[in-house]
Amino acid sequence: MSEGTSQSFPRVRRIQVGYSPAEDRVLMRLELVTGEQRSAWIPRRVMSRLMPRLNEALKRSHPAGEGQPAADAVMAMEHVAARSELAGQRQKTDDSAAKEREEHERTDARQLEDGSYLITQERIDLQQGQLLVGVLGHDLPSSSGLAQTPRPVGALSLSRAQAHELLRLLTEQAEQAQWGLGRSVSWLRWLKGRRRDGDR
């Protein structure tokens, strides 16, 4: 990654995203390609940077933009197409996912290190058509002050469709938290409004 070339990020295979009202943080459960599980706790301050930066990376890298950020209407149309694409992929991979789960359940849990981290920095880069999203943080429970340098917790290599899905998930959790961050992805809010109008 251009902002952290000296740092090596563990590769993430799968994520789950949720919000904890007790912690007032978004939780990303990361499954690394090694099988290790990590909990990445993301506070509002980091989300307020991560969401607009991911949105900006998607807009600036859109083929129709020709070097300029793509318009909101273009992003909204691409988002609809991305959701359809991912839905089709999920249907095709249901059987292989079931086999993967069986293998995962047979894995000796003692070999998996389940670490928890407070995320304090994010890295976003575009390489060979893939959006790379990395997070850095500190071990939890943390020592007082968090003076030490944050370490790489995990990185995702995403297609445009997958990046759209991640942005949607993060936006939903930020809205559930009532953090007022949805303005940074105005086209996604417009799309949700259109869907609600269509339901009437």
Reported as a single tens digit per residue, the pLDDT across 78-126 is 999 998 888 877 666 555 555 555 555 544 444 455 799 999 999 999 9
pTM above 0.85, yes or no: no
Count of Cβ atoms closer than 10 Å to residue 17 Cβ: 17
Encode pLDDT of 120-163 as tens digits. Answer: 999 999 998 899 999 999 999 876 666 688 999 999 999 999 99
**Percent of residues, the chain, with pLDDT higher than 70:** 76
The span from the CA of 133 to the CA of 112, in Å, is 23
The span from the CA of 83 to the CA of 75, in Å, is 12
pLDDT band with cut points at 50, 70 and 90 for residue 38: very high
The span from the CA of 26 to the CA of 118, in Å, is 10
Q: Tokens 């009437």 identify what position?
A: 200
**How big is the chain, counted in residues?**
200
Q: Smallest Cα–Cα separation from 166: which of 2, 16, 3, 56?
A: 16
44 burial class (0-12, 13-18, 19+ CB within 10 angstroms)?
A: middle
